[in-house]
């Protein structure tokens, strides 16, 4: 994490001031150290360049940790499957298996090969409309964000699809965040190998309990982040507390009468952000002035499952074909 962030951060648990001890730096980047909160005695490490501001009170399911440790345990027991995943010509693998090959290569630090496998996976996993609508969303957001130079904090960054586009296109410092330190560690290595290390900082925290001081975030983005946050509770109020400028949220909405996907959306605790009008109402209730700055509709289908890894799939939603509305929300 870059040192300009220190003055923006407080204890995520009690909002007390932090006392910093930096033990290793590379230029402006803090590689290791710790931040202590004298008010509530919480202690937050900076490890491998990632500030870890997770609090013990919120339950969280780190799917990166779960899927990747399950995948590596499975492949250790089945080296023949690992060989097939890695050695079969890419074009002969099912799209989901190309994705799993990308995950293995990414974990090994073979980032260029991982990118080629991930790109080959994407075209087979998603409908043309899905990909076109996502691309339009991102282009629209990049235009919107190009006029300013203040840092951009990206929420629930995952593999950093949006973070990479922001870092390549904008002349602004970017902060990648997620509650999974594991995915951020990999992002950091990958982005550094792509020459983007100087532009991107990394903070691990739960979006529902951020470590930012009131009003400290000028610009926040999120790409398919809101819909992935289970049991969001007061998420939008917490974001309202910390954002002083604009929140640009790239998301998609399900039709309200989509019973086939609706059951799963309820089961995952995702209903708050899954439907357009109720989601906008939630924003307003939390004190935001929000508008749909742009939107596009397209057909989405369930991502086809793996052939080599029995029972393994990619996205849980949509579970049945549907028409989604991709929106760029602009909230002040």
Chain positions contacting ligand SAM, by CB under 6 A: 64, 156-162, 178-180, 183, 206-208, 223-225, 228-229
Distances (CA, A) of 327 to 34, 133, 166, 273: 39, 9, 18, 12
Q: d(Cα 22, Cα 31) in Å, to the nearest integer? A: 8
Q: Map residue 194 onto helix, strand or coil.
A: coil
Which residue, 228 or 322, is less far from ligand SAM as judged by CB? 228
Report how many helices (DSSP H) and strands (DSSP E) the chain contains, helices first.
10, 11
Q: Residue 182 Cβ, how far from ligand SAM at the closest point, in Å? A: 9
Nearest to ligand SAM of 299, 314 (CB atom): 314
Cβ-proximal residue to ligand SAM, closest one: 158
Residue 143 half-sphere exposure toward CB, CA atoms < 13 A: 9
Report in angstroms how near the CB of residue 77 gets to ligand SAM at its nearest. Answer: 26
- Tell me how crowded residue 311 is: count the other CB atoms within 10 A of its CB: 6
Measured from the Cβ of residue 104, the count of other Cβ atoms closer than 10 Å reads 19
- Residues 262 and 105: their CA atoms lie apart, in Å, by 35
Q: How far is the CB of 327 from ligand SAM (least distance, A)?
A: 15
Q: Which is nearer to ligand SAM, 30 or 159 (CB)?
A: 159
134-136-139 Cα angle (round to 5): 110
3-state SS of 99-155? HHHHHHHHHCCCHHHHHHHHHHHHHHHCCHHHHHHHHHHHHHHHHHHCCCCCCEEEE
Cβ closer to ligand SAM: 163 or 280? 163
Least separation in angstroms between residue 224's CB and ligand SAM is: 4
Cα–Cα nearest to 163, from 194, 191, 193, 132? 191
Closest separation between CB of residue 233 and ligand SAM, Å?
A: 10
Nearest approach in angstroms of CB 249 to ligand SAM is 11
Q: Which is nearer to ligand SAM, 229 or 280 (CB)?
A: 229
Smallest distance from the beta carbon of 159 to ligand SAM, in angstroms? 5
């Amino acid at each position: 994490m870059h040192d300009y962030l220190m003055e923006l951060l407080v204890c995520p648990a009690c909002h007390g001031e932090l006392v910093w001890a930096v033990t290793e730096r590379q230029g402006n980047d803090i590689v290791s150290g710790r931040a202590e909160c004298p008010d509530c005695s919480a202690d937050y490490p900076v490890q491998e360049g990632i500030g870890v501001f997770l609090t013990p009170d919120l339950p969280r399911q780190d799917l990166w940790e779960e899927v990747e440790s399950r995948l590596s345990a499975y492949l250790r027991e089945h080296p023949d499957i690992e060989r097939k995943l890695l050695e079969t010509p890419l074009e002969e693998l099912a799209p989901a298996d190309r994705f799993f090959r990308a995950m293995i290569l990414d974990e090994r630090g073979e980032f260029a090969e991982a990118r080629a496998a991930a790109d080959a996976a994407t075209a087979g996993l998603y409908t043309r409309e899905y990909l076109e609508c996502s691309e339009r969303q991102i282009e629209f957001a990049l235009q919107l964000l190009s006029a300013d130079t203040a840092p951009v904090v990206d929420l629930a960054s995952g593999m950093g699809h949006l973070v990479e586009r922001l870092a390549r296109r904008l002349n602004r410092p970017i902060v990648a965040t997620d509650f999974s330190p594991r995915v951020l560690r990999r992002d950091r290595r990958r982005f550094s190998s792509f020459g983007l290390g100087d532009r991107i900082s990394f903070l691990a925290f739960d979006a529902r309990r951020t470590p930012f001081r009131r009003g400290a975030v000028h610009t926040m983005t999120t790409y398919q982040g809101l819909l992935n946050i289970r049991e969001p509770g007061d998420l939008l109020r917490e974001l309202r507390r910390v954002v002083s400028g604009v929140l640009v949220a790239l998301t998609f909405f399900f039709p309200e009468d989509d019973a086939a996907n609706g059951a799963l959306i309820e089961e995952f605790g995702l209903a708050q952000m899954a439907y357009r009008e109720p989601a906008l109402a939630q924003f307003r209730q939390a004190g935001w002035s929000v508008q749909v700055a742009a939107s596009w509709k397209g057909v989405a289908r369930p991502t086809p499952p793996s052939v080599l890894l029995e029972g393994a799939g990619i996205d849980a939603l949509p579970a049945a074909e549907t028409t989604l509305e991709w929106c760029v929300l602009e909230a002040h």
